[in-house]
């Protein structure tokens, strides 16, 4: 930045010639894909993570994220376009800092923004004139303005003039073969018009389409609306699955027939619950925020209850099927097929399979699992390793439960060899579904 340039003009110029340095705080499922798109756009990137293992692996050219090839990481490191560090004192170096840290829920389903606050405090210690800070972590409306802005302005720097602050929600869909960080439209909201302008200019080379909105609160609410929409509709179709079961109707037949309507209907499918870091969590951010304003989000809370109860519903179905064979759950061998939260990925965050396994073990079942993407489970009391999917393995099980419908699994083999199958995902071949 020259003496005559304003911080706004300086950042816009650095966007134009790609001389801006990006800093990405959090190198997980959101942060690392963003790193690679920024590198492809010609920016140099400095990554920050608290995990020494992650940082050392990336600097050695090893990716820990399935969607990102190690070869791409290694090339970026070799070219001097990317390096990673655990040293948060280096946050003074980047011109742009994007925060992509976890925002989990507490035990009481309240937002846990401690990682965001910790990152903000680290940035505050090194904040300099001319830096842009972008929060990407999903959170409740008001987080950027109410929590981050006061902390950063306590340095004496003024937002929109000395430094810039924006919110741009991540929209990563792990394992999606069509949509990635680059071609998924990116929503951006700034604290001020200058904040919005510099954020759009800096992201533009790396993202195909940017969607500006009027405020950080609007941008924060966009992501929550997207996943609340899905949560509510999944809750509806999960309840419809229970209704159909009680009526003796095939829910999948009903859904497929309804899908033939060319307008007014969008297909959602039932399952054992919802998983991942978005759908099970994001609606609770909004519900919590509205409780502080004395408003109860009834749709959101009801959908959350239905979705959370689905593992218990399916475990009850497993018990019923075993009972039909004259067997109790206690002592029965149950093979769970798929433990990732959705098909063809290795992500087990909030996976309903974990609840299914815990509930079965609590009832005394002997549980094993097969998942071609998840070699070991060591999560919240569940400690298991995947077993091979063979005719012998299937025949040894008293019941096989399809929880995640990975496309690489031979469901024909499952249908032929398993004694009893409970199919939560409609994965079995059509001519064998009568067994589920």
Report how far residue 209's alpha carbon sits from residue 380's, in angstroms, rounded to the nearest whole number: 40
User: Can you give the three-state secondary structure of 326-345, one letter per residue?
Assistant: CCCCCCCEEEEECCCCCCCC
Q: Catalytic amino acids?
A: 278
Q: What is the CB-side half-sphere exposure of residue 183 using CA atoms within 13 A?
A: 5
CB 30 within 8 A of CB 100: yes
Nearest to 141 by CA among 330, 332, 286, 24: 286
Nearest to 300 by CA among 319, 321, 286: 286
Q: Which residue has the tokens 């399979």?
A: 353
Report how far residue 386's alpha carbon sits from residue 326's, in angstroms, rounded to the nearest whole number: 28
CB 128 within 8 A of CB 95: no
- Which runs of E-coded beta strand occur in 90-175? 96-99, 132-135, 164-167
CB 131 within 8 A of CB 163: yes
Residue 302 tokens read as 């009801």
CB 193 within 8 A of CB 8: no
Give the torsion sign (CA, 69, 122, 44, 39).
positive
């Amino acid at each position: 930045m020259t003496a005559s340039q304003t911080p706004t003009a300086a950042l816009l110029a650095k966007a134009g010639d790609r001389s801006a340095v990006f800093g990405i705080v959090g190198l997980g499922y959101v942060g690392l894909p963003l790193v690679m798109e920024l590198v492809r756009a010609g920016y140099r990137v400095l990554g920050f993570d608290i995990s020494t293992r992650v940082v050392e692996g990336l600097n050695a050219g090893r990716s820990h994220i399935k969607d990102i090839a190690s070869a791409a990481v290694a090339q970026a490191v070799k070219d001097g376009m990317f390096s990673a560090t655990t040293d948060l004192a280096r946050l003074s170096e980047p011109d742009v800092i994007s925060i992509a840290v976890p925002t989990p829920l507490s035990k009481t389903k309240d937002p846990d923004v401690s990682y965001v606050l910790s990152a903000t405090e680290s940035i505050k210690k090194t904040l300099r004139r001319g830096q842009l800070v972008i929060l990407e972590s999903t959170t409740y409306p008001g987080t950027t303005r109410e929590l981050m802005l006061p902390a950063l302005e306590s340095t004496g720097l003024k937002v929109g003039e000395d430094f810039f602050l924006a919110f741009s929600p991540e929209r990563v869909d792990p394992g999606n073969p069509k949509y990635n960080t680059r071609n998924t439209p990116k929503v951006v909201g700034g604290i001020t018009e200058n904040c919005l302008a510099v954020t759009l200019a800096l992201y533009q080379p790396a993202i195909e389409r940017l969607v500006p909105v009027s405020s950080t609160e609007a941008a924060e609410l966009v992501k929550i609306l997207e996943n609340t929409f899905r949560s509510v509709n999944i809750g509806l179709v999960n309840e419809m699955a229970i209704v159909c079961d009680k009526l003796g109707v095939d829910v999948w037949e009903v859904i497929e027939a309804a899908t033939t309507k060319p307008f007014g209907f969008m297909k959602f499918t039932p399952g054992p619950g919802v998983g991942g870091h978005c759908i099970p969590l994001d609606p609770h951010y909004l519900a919590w925020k509205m409780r502080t304003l004395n408003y109860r989000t009834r749709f959101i809370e009801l959908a959350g209850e239905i979705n959370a109860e689905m593992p218990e519903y399916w475990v009850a179905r497993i018990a019923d099927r075993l009972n039909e064979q004259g067997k109790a759950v206690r002592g029965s061998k149950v093979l769970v097929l798929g433990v990732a939260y959705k098909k063809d990925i290795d992500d087990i965050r909030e996976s309903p399979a974990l609840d299914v396994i815990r509930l079965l073990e609590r009832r005394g079942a002997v549980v094993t699992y097969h998942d071609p993407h998840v070699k070991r489970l060591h999560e919240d009391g569940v400690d298991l390793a995947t077993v091979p999917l063979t005719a012998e393995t299937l025949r040894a099980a008293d019941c096989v439960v399809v929880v995640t419908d990975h496309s690489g699994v031979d469901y024909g083999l499952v249908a032929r060899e398993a004694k009893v199958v409970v199919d939560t995902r409609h994965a079995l071949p059509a001519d064998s579904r009568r067994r589920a």
